[in-house]
Amino acid sequence: MTVMQKRARKKGLNTGYWIVSCILVLLVLASAGCLGTKVTAPETQVPPGILVDYHRTGGIAGTNDRLVVFDNGVAVISGRSGSSELLLNQTDLALISVLFNQSQFAQLQAKYSAPQGSADLMTYTINYHGKTVTAEESAVPPSLVPIIADLNHILSMAEIQKTTYPTLPVTKS
């Protein structure tokens, strides 16, 4: 072996030890960071709860409207003309709660039926805090009238909102 070969071999060994040492140090540092800290799970958002689920059906026109009010103020309306959403403010949500409390909704019967032979009546089904009350138009108890009026008002707000948006003229190509 020549002197040059001995130097190259000696350098190669030193370089090899150097590279292996660096890799080992990096692995130790990387694993040390993983062992000592806990990774916190990202916060999961709780989906909004249903405050009121209102369904009105029947009548001469064969109405079939549904209103679902969530506790975050989002109101989803669906009916024959499609679906839409409204955002109710905190005052609106508070009014809804007051109306249900004043009506003593929790103490109402589950069903109020119209007399036999009644025709073309609206049927109102309302679910609030897990209790469902169904009432036919001529048998609605007086304490439920303000609730139905307010929920119908919200339904009409959705209809007004749909018709007040400007529409673009249709042009034929």
pLDDT in tens, 53-109: 999 999 888 889 999 999 999 999 998 878 889 999 999 999 999 999 999 999 999
In a domain, 170, yes or no: no
CA-based angle 121:113:58, to the nearest 5? Answer: 25
Domains: count for the chain:
1
Domain for residue 132, yes or no?
A: yes
> Residue 136 belongs to a domain with what CATH number?
3.30.1560.10
State how beta strands 122-128 and 82-87 pair: unpaired
Q: What is the pLDDT of residue 124?
A: 97
| 82 falls within a domain | yes
pLDDT computed for residue 88 by the predictor: 93
The answer to whether 67 and 151 have CB atoms below 8 angstroms apart is yes
Evaluate whether residue 144 is within a structural domain.
yes
**Which range of residues forms the domain containing residue 126?**
50-164
Reduced to 3 states (helix: H, G, I; strand: E, B; else coil), residue 64 is strand
- Structural tokens at position 130: 């897990």
- The predicted-structure confidence for 11-67, as pLDDT tens digits, reads as follows 554 556 656 665 655 565 556 555 555 666 667 788 889 999 999 999 888 889 999
User: Is residue 118 a part of any domain in this protein?
Assistant: yes
* Model pTM above 0.85: no
Angle, CA of 159, 102 and 100, to the nearest 5°: 45
Residue 9 maps to a domain:
no
